[in-house]
């Protein structure tokens, strides 16, 4: 899709290059503060996205994480948190809905940190220069309230058409410039593409919108419902600028949304392998801590039980033809074993 931004290009009257030796770059980098985790090994300084389908509780999780950051309280899985004044740009709920969500069964309001601010939009997103005015307003608020961490909920509400790369590019460039000018860290809540295969592992390219988004991100967190236990959701770190990804597919976080006296709270259940949560209930194709039962083993066991090829195909989420081909391999292996024994 064509960007059509040529008409908005600004004339450049100076060099666009800053040239130094590589050694000088390293020395200059050593003078800057080290990058830190805001939530240990999960949320880092910079710009990130957490994406999930509707009705999984991503807004509730976002508020919970933001409250932990504002308080400096250990977050999910008891992860250490660096205290930061936080701002929540809420495009999802009005004040009444917020009150209903955070009022317990006794009619008492949940108390949040005084370092936790909330902002709502005062103009229509279709108004002229909305994105430019939004970035400008965020910068003013960041300076006025000394905000260090920003949560935007959500990308689809801010940008009315995520299929228009020029809008996505304008917004992400605005956030990048904002971070450079204020050193604020930003987490954006987003949605995944509609056509993703939920039986496959999460990927950062699953974010709904222009492919330009990923180029601006320092980290990406995927959130998805567990297919082996629908009451649980899983979190996986898909991209990070840090030295190591501590929450990859082999060490995801498993959470469960619980009702604590009328207030939604995500409780940490365990660390696990993502593949354990990709298959429907009843599937025997599961990765344990030591090994993964291969498709061939599952097919062999199923045939011994007299299960039809079509049913095996559904269990493993493969075609019936693939099942037949693997059965041929099993027959070939068994014939070779018989010849060796003779």
**260 Cβ contact list (under 8 Å, min separation 6):** 104
| pLDDT on residue 13 | 66
Question: Do β-strands 43-44 and 86-90 pair in parallel, antiparallel, or remain unpaired?
Answer: unpaired
Q: Nearest-CA neighbor of 285 among 244, 243, 257, 314?
A: 314
What's the confidence (pLDDT) of residue 332?
65
Summarize pLDDT for 257-310 with one digit per residue, the tens: 999 999 999 999 999 999 999 876 444 444 443 333 457 777 877 777 778 888
pLDDT given for residue 288 in this prediction? 40
Q: HEC string of 193-244?
A: CCCCCCCCCCCHHHECCCCHHHHCCCEEEEEEECCCCCCEEEEEEEECCCCC
Q: Which helix (H) or strand (E) holds 62?
A: helix 58-71
Is the CB of residue 315 less than 8 Å from the CB of residue 326? no
pLDDT along the chain (342 residues), means of 10: 53 78 93 89 96 92 96 95 96 93 94 95 86 94 96 89 82 93 94 82 83 86 92 95 92 95 95 88 41 62 78 77 80 56 49
User: What is the DSSP secondary structure assignment for residue 287, as one 8-state letter?
Assistant: B
Beta bridge partners of 148: none
State the DSSP code for 275: G
pLDDT score, position 274: 94
Apex CA 95: angle with CA 92 and CA 101, to 5°? Answer: 75
pLDDT of residue 339: 47
Backbone torsions φ then ψ of 291, nearest 5 degrees: -160, 170
- Structure tokens, 81: 């948190």
3-state secondary structure the chain: CCCCCHHHCCCCCCCCCCCCCHHHHHHHHHCCCCCCEEECCCEECCEEEEECCCCCCHHHHHHHHHHHHHHCCCCHHHCCECCCCEEEEECCCCHHHHHHHCECCCCCECCCCCCEEEECCCCCCCCCCHHHHHHHHHHHHHHHHCCCEEEEECHHHHCCCCCCHHHHHHHHHHHHHHHHHHCCEEEEEECECCCCCCCCCCCHHHECCCCHHHHCCCEEEEEEECCCCCCEEEEEEEECCCCCCCCCCCCEEEEEEEEECCEEEEEEEEEECHHHHCCCCCCCCCECCCCECCHHHHHHHHHHCCCCHHHHHHHHCCCHHHHHHHHHHHHHHHHHHHHHHC
Task: Look up the pTM and report it.
Answer: 0.76
Please name every residue paired with 150 in a beta bridge, in sequence order, or none if there are none.
Answer: 87, 186
**pLDDT, tens only, 196-238:** 777 788 988 888 875 678 888 999 999 999 988 889 999 999 9
Contact present, 155 and 162 (Cβ < 8 Å) = yes
């Amino acid at each position: 899709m064509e960007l059509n931004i040529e008409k908005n290009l600004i004339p450049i009257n100076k060099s666009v290059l800053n040239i130094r030796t590589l050694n000088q770059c390293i020395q200059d980098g050593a003078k800057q503060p080290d990058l830190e985790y805001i939530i240990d090994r999960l949320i880092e300084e910079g710009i990130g996205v957490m994406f999930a389908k509707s009705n999984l509780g991503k807004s509730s999780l976002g508020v919970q994480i933001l409250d932990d950051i504002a308080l400096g309280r250990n977050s999910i899985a008891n992860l250490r948190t660096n205290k930061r004044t936080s701002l929540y740009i809420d495009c999802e709920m009005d004040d009444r809905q917020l009150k209903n969500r955070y009022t317990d069964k006794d009619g008492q309001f949940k108390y949040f940190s005084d370092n936790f601010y909330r902002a709502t939009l005062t103009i229509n997103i279709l108004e002229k220069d909305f994105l430019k005015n939004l970035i400008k307003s965020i910068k003013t608020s960041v300076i006025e309230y000394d905000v260090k961490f920003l949560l935007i909920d959500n990308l689809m509400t801010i940008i009315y058409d995520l299929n228009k790369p020029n809008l996505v590019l304008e917004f992400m460039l605005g956030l990048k410039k904002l971070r450079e000018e204020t050193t604020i860290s930003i987490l954006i809540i987003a949605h995944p593409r509609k056509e993703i295969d939920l039986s496959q592992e999460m990927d950062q390219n699953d974010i709904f919108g222009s492919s330009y988004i990923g180029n601006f991100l320092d980290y990406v967190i995927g959130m998805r419902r567990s297919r082996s236990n629908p009451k649980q959701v899983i979190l996986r770190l898909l991209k990070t600028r840090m030295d190591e990804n501590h929450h990859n597919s082999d060490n995801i976080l498993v959470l469960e949304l619980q009702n604590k006296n009328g207030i939604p709270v995500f409780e940490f259940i365990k660390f696990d392998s993502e593949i354990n949560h990709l298959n429907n209930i009843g599937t025997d194709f599961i990765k344990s801590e030591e090994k993964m039962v291969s498709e061939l083993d599952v097919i062999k066991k199923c045939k011994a039980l007299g299960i039809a090829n079509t049913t095996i195909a559904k269990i493993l989420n493969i075609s019936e033809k693939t099942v037949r081909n693997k059965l041929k391999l099993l027959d070939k292996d068994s014939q070779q074993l018989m010849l060796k024994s003779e």
